[in-house]
Amino acid sequence: MRQIIYAVLIAALASASPVWAQPNPWAGSWRGTISTAQAQNPVVPLADTADVAATAAETPAAPVTENTGVTLTLAGEPGAYTGVVTGFTPGREIRLSNIETTDTELTLEGSADTDFGPLALSYSLTRDERTLSGAGRITLGDHGFDVTIELTRRRRAEVPQPQVEQRIGYFTGSWTFEYTGGEFPPLSIGTRSGTVTFTDIAHGPFVQGDVAGEVFGEPYSETWTIGFDAVAQSLVWHEALSTGQRLIALGNWTSPIGITFLTMPMEAEGRLFVLRRLMQVTSDTSFAVTDEFSVDGGPFQRLGNGAYVRQN
């Protein structure tokens, strides 16, 4: 049995980097501008007031282009992307509620409340290598206007990625989640949703999370405990699952944009299960997870995807 456990861990660690390094055509940060065409009357030299009024009335409005710098950040995998748009208001994110992709096309929708009223956007973009371009519509309060979008994704070394400080306090608070995945005991009870609320544990870099969720219309609860070593930038993640099983994982948080986890083998019904998780830390208010699993040292397979959004 011990030899099987060692074999599972060695195989998982040896294959971890190539899996996470697979190219993703959409994930990452896209930076550029949104242009709006607004009408503006031409400047008229000072003259008699009547002449100015007549000239302004007779002269058609000239279009003036205004550019706004924005960043589109996408995380996840095809069919399960999450994302935000920033740049409209300092410090304010517009969370995307709908993201659809094909090989070269991207459509998205999002909304947010602002000081000027509700803001909603919808874009339809085409990807050409590292460039996204297309048209969209933005509505602010009762006013709507058409826009054109030009975004570029440079090579990773040149693109400022979402940066989140590695600290245990990142998790503190309440998060809502949606998890889409297979029903695969003992690792997963299937597609589910709910909230997890993390509170600090005194005298140590730990938080405890209480999960209140729903699966197939039935409520369930779990308890998660996370500990963080700031020096080694590593985590330990313990889940007391609703099935009575316990899941223990070690995490590497040396990158501010993501955490990779590998669980200790879990034995159930005479078989050994290992879970591998990538947590993409997209911002201070959202993260996404991608889970894969191996049975008895076999190849890793997709288990599910989850999206978490901070509530407070």
Boundary of a domain, candidates 123, 158, 193: 158
Residues 133 and 176 in one domain: no
Residues 64 and 128 in one domain: yes
pLDDT, tens only, 218-255: 999 999 999 999 999 999 999 999 999 999 999 999 88
In a domain, 86, yes or no: yes
| Mean pLDDT along residues 95-103 | 88
State which residues form the domain around 272. Answer: 163-310
> Do residues 200 and 238 both lie within one domain?
yes
Instruction: Tell me, yes or no, whether 202 lies in a domain.
Output: yes
- Give yes or no: residues 187 and 90 share one domain: no
138 and 207 in a common domain: no
Domain boundary among 158, 177, 211: 158
Residue 23: cis peptide before it, omega within 30 degrees of 0? no
Residues 151 and 173 in one domain: no
Are 274 and 135 in contact, with CB atoms under 8 Å apart? Answer: no
153, 168: one domain: no
pLDDT, one tens digit per residue, over 22-69 is 457 888 788 888 887 654 333 333 333 344 344 334 444 333 346 678
Q: Domain holding 179: CATH number?
A: 2.40.128.20
Q: Are 140 and 257 within one domain?
A: no
Domain of residue 109, CATH code: 2.40.128
| 120 plus 194 within the same structural domain | no
- Domain total of the chain: 2
151 and 179, same domain (yes or no)? no
Model-wide pTM > 0.75? no
| CA pair distance 31, 187, nearest whole angstrom | 38
In a 10 Å sphere around its CB, with 0-12 CB exposed, 13-18 middle and 19+ buried, how is residue 264 labelled? middle
Q: Is the pLDDT of residue 15 over 50?
A: no
Q: Is residue 161 a contact partner of residue 82, using CB atoms and an 8 Å limit?
A: no
Q: Is residue 55 part of a domain?
A: yes
277 and 223 in a common domain: yes
16, part of any domain: no
Long-range contacts of residues 83-91, Cβ cutoff 8 Å, at least 24 apart = 83/108, 83/282, 84/110, 84/282, 84/283, 84/286, 85/110, 85/121, 88/114, 88/119, 89/114, 89/115
What's the pLDDT at 4?
Answer: 45
